[in-house]
Amino acid sequence: MKPYEVLVFDWDGTLMDSEHRIVTCMQLAAADAGLPVPDEASARNIIGLGMREAVTALFPGLEPDAVGRVIEAYRDHWLGDRIPASRLFPGAERVVRGFAGQGYLLAVATGKSRRGLDRVLEETGLGDCFHVTRCADEAHSKPHPQMLLDILTDLNTDPRRALVIGDTEYDMQMADNARVDAIGMAHGVHASERLLRHGALTVLQHLEELPPWLEQKTPRKTEQQG
């Protein structure tokens, strides 16, 4: 018996190595808006949040219109060709397709916009692997559990039969708020200690460590199991 039925992946920093692109786009957007350019550490820290929440975290007290201008500038840079495109982490495609072939229900819960996620799903060719996806412009941003709860509802899955895989404390907190297990990925933006502190069962160094970890995991009991 599989330890989980549903595997919910974060995208940026978990499946795709997009840290440099996100940080650079945010720095350029701030400059375009006439705001202080955030340093790399500050820009990295907001990866995983929805765009409005990310901009507000970087620039507390910014008027809504100004927040919107930063977001539009960010999207212009993201959709442009000035910054090199992001790539999937090594082994990501193999791992995702392997899980799909084993009958897992796969989902994505991401701080990306719907437009942004659909674009990378098409570019990577992984769109057919995921049964459900949720984005930050369709629900409350992480760490609010709405994206995850929507996924569980759509897939008719008990929270104890799902696992979140992410690279930020926001992923871990979202899972905890929905009473779902979560594990961290060390190749993302938040340190392993931070992920463990916010509820990760463990932190893996590489995505290819996930299949053997699952093979050794004991299923959690659901209400139906007693």
Axis crossing angle, helix 19-32 with helix 51-58, rounded to the nearest 10 = 60
Contact 217, 102 (CB under 8 A): no
Beta-strand pair 132-135/105-110? parallel
Residue 25: how many CA atoms within 13 Å on its side-chain side? 27
Q: Which one from 12, 167, 171, 181 is the annotated catalytic residue?
A: 12
Taking residue 105's Cβ as centre, other Cβ atoms within 10 Å add up to 21
- Name residue, tokens 């201008």: 69
72/75 Cα distance (integer angstroms)? 5
In order, the DSSP letters of 121-156 are: HHHHT-GGG-SEEEETTTSPPTTSSHHHHHHHHHTT
Is residue 12 among the annotated active site residues? Answer: yes
Question: What does the DSSP 8-state code read for residue 4?
Answer: -
- Give which of 52, 43, 53 is closest to 18, Cα–Cα: 43
Cα radius of gyration rounded to whole Å, the chain: 17
Phi and psi at residue 133, to the nearest 5°: -135, 145
87 bridge partner residues: 17
Residues annotated as part of the active site: 10, 12
